[in-house]
Structure 1
Amino acid sequence: MSRANSEGRSDYAVMAQELSAGTLGPVGFSHRAHLGVAYEMITRHEVFEAMAIYARGLRALTEAAGVPEKYNATVTLAFLSLTAERAAAKDYESTLQFLTENDDLLSSNVMAHYFSPALMRSDLARRVPLLPRRD
């Protein structure tokens, strides 16, 4: 399997349009693609508008895929907030440059710095975006 296939699709601008329109399918929508689409939306819309569009699209995608329980409002908004913060701190020439220079956001445990595993798995975290807690 090629690197592009193992990491999912990489046409992030197209995927952002598809997510906004509700036509994005789950095949190839890897974590890297989630982040690339988030960057595309954050750089093309006002931050709260981008968050609303992305969250609505992602929730619809998980429902259409038959896995609505995979949507997590806390994770979604936390990643979007980190993406917006990083995008505002530096001018990136492309989504690829953003992903390359922020590869820590691709780590499976990046949210562990902000949330306990139990909190992340909670029904409440799936339904509403929670703030980080120091437990």
Structure 2
Amino acid sequence: MTKTIQVSDITVAFEAHTIDNTKFGHAQHVQVAFDLLRKYDFIDAAAIYAKGIRTLATNAGAPGKFNLTITYAFMSLIAERMAQGPNHSFEAFIADYPELMSKNALERLYADDRLNSDLARGIFLLPTAA
């Protein structure tokens, strides 16, 4: 389901696969996820996001950097926070949930060896109980 919404220029470039991967850091990852989740339902947004991130890694000559678990886990965290209230802008959303701007946001859910394993790169792994 596609909704008519305004998205950032970075998201437009991401969806068109014309983005400069050298300028696509963590903040841009979060921005694109936010925009896609506003534009599509979760299933479509997650698929578009994962395929786009994988394409970026491959085009950068580093396909092994793509990690499906990190991609889907971050997307899920962002979607969960978005479901908690109205999100009229990315800036307001980040002000409400600044922890999402940390690359370490998944540390409380995943052991490092599990999150960065070869298995986690290829399939989505659920967090394990502490």
Taking the aligned partners of 2:96 and 2:27, their CA distance within structure 1 comes to 13
Counterpart residue number, 2:34:
39
**Out of 76, 79, 86, which is 1:84 matched to?**
79
Counterpart residue number, 1:4:
none
Confirm or deny that 1:62 pairs with 2:46: no
Confirm or deny that 1:127 pairs with 2:114: no
Unaligned runs of 5+ in 2: 1-6
Provide, for residues 14-71 of structure 1, a one-character-per-residue CA deviation record: whole Å limited to 9, x for no partner. 2112222211121221111100110000011011100000000110011001111111
Counterpart residue number, 1:15:
10
Q: How many residues align?
A: 124
Q: Counterpart amino acid of 1:55?
A: A
Taking the aligned partners of 1:56 and 1:95, their CA distance within structure 2 comes to 22
Q: Is the 8 A contact 1:36 1:99 kept in 2?
A: no
> Scaled by the length of structure 1, what TM-score is found?
0.86
| Bigger mean CA offset, 20-29 vs 124-133 | 20-29
The alpha-carbon deviation at position 118 of structure 1 amounts to 0.4
Taking the aligned partners of 1:77 and 1:66, their CA distance within structure 2 comes to 22
Counterpart residue number, 2:47:
52
Q: Counterpart amino acid of 1:59?
A: R
Deviation beyond 4 Å, 4+ runs, structure 1: none
Taking the aligned partners of 1:72 and 1:107, their CA distance within structure 2 comes to 17
Taking the aligned partners of 1:96 and 1:28, their CA distance within structure 2 comes to 19
> Scaled by the length of structure 2, what TM-score is found?
0.90
The percentage of aligned residue pairs carrying the same residue is 35
Q: Secondary structure at the match of 2:86?
A: coil
* Structure with the bigger percentage of helix: 1
**Out of 75, 99, 102, which is 1:104 matched to?**
99
Q: Counterpart amino acid of 2:80?
A: E
Q: Secondary structure at the match of 1:112?
A: coil
Q: Is the 8 A contact 1:73 1:126 kept in 2?
A: yes
